[in-house]
Amino acid sequence: MNPSRHFALIPAAGVGARLGAAIPKQYMPLAGQPMLMHVLRTFAAASEISHVFVVVSPDDGYIADLMAAAPHLQGRVTVLYHGGASRQASVLNGLQAVKAQVDEDDWMLVHDAARPGLTQDLIAQLIAALKDDRVGGLLALPVVDTLKRGDQNARVAQTVERSGLWAAQTPQMFRHGLLTRALTLAEAVTDEAGAVELLGLQPRLVEGSPRNFKVTLPHDVALAEMFLKEQV
């Protein structure tokens, strides 16, 4: 029996409306490169990753130029023009598109295109932690701030007990067959772990890093650039 391989799957079909940029968020310049380039380069350089798949919208007008400007990604990254209306749809479409190239027991590492602070060390850490796990899991951070639940008037309605709470990150790593089934059966989820949880399974939490945050709002851009420039 061949050992399970590891593949990266990056949904990048969104428009990033909350950031207010003129182009889709994943193509915004960040530390001299499109945001998506940082993610692709990190996965392509990781020896544990057999291949990288990036899922973009069918009418994406940017990915061809990005790939043409990155000859080092040739042979390591495949573009899938199967993006859907939601993250869930894009990931599921991507899983179905690569079905002939991967086995059901191969691991898929699904990662946000808007988390450019991912490192090869974090990838290796996640893979090592989940090597023999029967379910899979995700990078996440324990919540350290005091949490408040607000009401409709933006006043505190409740202080939420933070013990045991984690903030989910990506990559989220599950076997191809399991993840395909989970996303097919789930009605609406915001991450892959949520779909797997609906099967009655408990994904493992693997501590990630604050640098692996999601670029969502304008002020996130400067912080992401700071981390990326430190890495160079």
User: How far is 104 from 56, CA to CA, in rounded Å?
Assistant: 23
pLDDT of residue 91: 98
The percentage of the chain sitting over the pLDDT mark of 70, rounded to a whole number, equals 95
Q: Are 207 and 141 in contact (CB under 8 A)?
A: yes
Q: Are 193 and 205 in contact (CB under 8 A)?
A: no
pLDDT of residue 221: 79
One-letter amino acid for residue 32 of the chain = G
- Looking at residues 76-92, what average pLDDT do you find? 96
- Domain-by-domain residue ranges, the chain? 6-231
Q: Which residues of 110-134 are buried (b: 16+ CB within 10 A; e: fewer)?
A: bbbbbbbbbeeebbebbbebbeeee
Confidence of residue 225 (pLDDT cuts 50, 70, 90): confident
Assigned CATH for 6-231: 3.90.550.10
User: How far is 111 from 113, CA to CA, in rounded Å?
Assistant: 6
User: How far is 206 from 139, CA to CA, in rounded Å?
Assistant: 5
pLDDT of residue 222: 74
DSSP state of 212: S
Supply 204's token pair.
Answer: 């493992």
Q: Are 45 and 10 in contact (CB under 8 A)?
A: no
pLDDT greater than 80 at residue 19: no
pLDDT greater than 90 at residue 230: no
Q: Are 229 and 31 in contact (CB under 8 A)?
A: yes
pLDDT of residue 84: 94
Taking the CA of residue 96 as centre, how many other CA atoms within 13 Å lie in the half-sphere pointing to its CB?
14
pLDDT of residue 171: 98
Nearest to 146 by CA among 131, 162, 158: 162
Q: Are 76 and 34 in contact (CB under 8 A)?
A: no
Confidence of residue 218 (pLDDT cuts 50, 70, 90): confident
Supply 169's token pair.
Answer: 């990150």
Q: Are 115 and 214 in contact (CB under 8 A)?
A: yes
Bridge-based pairing of strands 136-142 and 77-80 is unpaired
Confidence of residue 22 (pLDDT cuts 50, 70, 90): confident
- Give Cα 28 distance to the centre of its chain: 17
Confidence of residue 229 (pLDDT cuts 50, 70, 90): confident
Supply 220's token pair.
Answer: 């996130």
- Looking at residues 14-35, what average pLDDT do you find? 79
pLDDT greater than 70 at residue 20: no
For the stretch 35-56, pLDDT in tens is: 999 999 999 999 999 999 999 9
For the stretch 117-165, pLDDT in tens is: 999 999 999 999 999 999 999 999 999 999 999 999 999 999 999 999 9
